[in-house]
Amino acid sequence: MKLEVRAYARPFKTPLQTYHGDWSVRRGLILRMDTESGIGWGEVAPIAAFGTERYEAALEFCQSLPQQITLAELQQIPATHPACRFGLEAAWELAQSSQAAPYPSGRLRLETGGTQSEQLEVSLLKVGGSLASTLLPTGSAALDSPLLFGNRLVTARPHTFKWKIGAAPIQQELDIFHELISLLPMGAKLRLDANGGLTWQEACTWLQLCDGYGIEFLEQPLPPEQFSLMLKLRQRYSTPIALDESVTGLAQLKDCLAQGWRGIFVIKAPLMGSPVTLREFCQAEALDLVWSSVFETTVARQYIEEFLIAALPVANRAVGFGVDQWFADGWERLSPEQIWERLA
């Protein structure tokens, strides 16, 4: 197997604001593997704040690999480099499958007709027949989002939106929340994501409010080290709680299950290490999963849809892949080959 690596840097239209701070540029790696069976594409998309290797470490590691590498060597990638393990193993599996998905395709496809913006909006709505949730801007900018106004495609069918909290004083966000609720299209669902940035009292305030509005779930209200408190919150309020930062790796996922978590798990596949092991575990367990984006390109997205999501029973929850509107480069319409050529 011959391995080639190319780095990318995708500026956000506007920085993404979260409890962890502002994020201005999404950096990652695109991998190309040539084998006797075919060509495989992989993506390394680390997020150090979620416990993966840093981008610089991922780049150094992949560039240090020999051009000729075996599967046994890929399986020895250290646990300190989960994003590298995901990208390299995914590329290997794609190459060995001769680019043919082993499961019914779940790939995003743009519908024909309509304006370019309308076609993009359709791609944000659907993943393999399932609705995809759309990430709104943080703070008051969400109130002016075009996805809430004058959008016949979004308002014409039930949709799911996600809004990040914990990035500003709580009273300010509560005021915005009440206005946001009044602007949601008919039948829309709303998810709140705190990125582990709330205090116990703030989490209680939000959950009490959520119980009155039928919010789909509150994602990671407290930091991972306060797992026992999140168990208590789950028992105290009716609004479901989803774990995200608490389950950035398969070992953490197994640990939360062992400690009694039976709620929602938000899975960011490119951060989880071996995709094959992740798939086998999810096939063996009946988990309430939400597949979530790490602002990866279509290289990783297509693999996740066709080799992970499509290998499991159809979920009732919208996948969290509605993030393409955060970039202006148009990569969501490019094939892996086209992205690779852009980076030449």
In the chain, where are the structural domains located?
2-100, 116-332
Q: Binding site membership for Mg(2+): which residues?
A: 193, 219, 244
Query: What's the CA gap between 217 and 165, in Å, rounded?
Result: 13
According to DSSP, residue 33 is labeled E
- pLDDT single digits (tens) 140-198: 999 998 877 644 444 445 689 999 999 999 999 999 999 999 999 888 899 999 999 99
Cα→Cα distances 292→117, 198, 272, 304, 324, Å: 23, 21, 12, 10, 13
CATH class assigned to 2-100: alpha beta
CATH for 116-332, options being 3.50.50.60, 3.90.1150.10, 3.20.20.120, 2.40.290.10: 3.20.20.120
Q: Which residue has the higher pLDDT, 152 or 12?
A: 12
Q: Do domains 2-100 and 116-332 have the same CATH topology?
A: no
At 19, the pLDDT band (50, 70, 90 cuts) reads confident
Mean residue pLDDT of the chain comes to 87
Query: What's the CA gap between 192 and 239, in Å, rounded?
Result: 11
Q: What is the pLDDT of residue 314?
A: 83
Q: What is the pLDDT of residue 158?
A: 60
Q: What is the pLDDT of residue 157?
A: 52
- pLDDT single digits (tens) 297-338: 999 999 999 999 999 988 788 999 989 889 999 999 999 999
Q: Which residue has the higher pLDDT, 106 or 80?
A: 80
Q: What is the pLDDT of residue 141?
A: 93
Q: Which residue has the higher pLDDT, 205 or 22?
A: 205
DSSP for 265-310? Answer: EEE-GGGSS-HHHHHHHHHHS--EEEEB--S--HHHHHHIIIIIGG
pLDDT at 125 over 70: no
Q: Binding site membership: which residues?
A: 193, 219, 244
| Average pLDDT of the residues in 91-120 | 51
Q: What is the pLDDT of residue 146?
A: 84
Q: Which residue has the higher pLDDT, 339 or 22?
A: 339
pLDDT at 116 over 80: no
Residue 6, classified by CB atoms within 10 Å of its CB into exposed (0-12), middle (13-18) or buried (19+), is middle
The catalytic residue positions are 164, 268
**242 membership: H or E segment, kind and range:** strand 241-243
Query: What's the CA gap between 120 and 126, in Å, rounded?
Result: 10
Q: What is the pLDDT of residue 212?
A: 95
Q: What is the pLDDT of residue 128?
A: 42
**Least reliable range by pLDDT among 64-73, 215-224, 258-267:** 64-73
Q: What is the pLDDT of residue 102?
A: 54
Q: Which residue has the higher pLDDT, 148 or 295?
A: 295
At 98, the pLDDT band (50, 70, 90 cuts) reads low
pLDDT at 250 over 60: yes
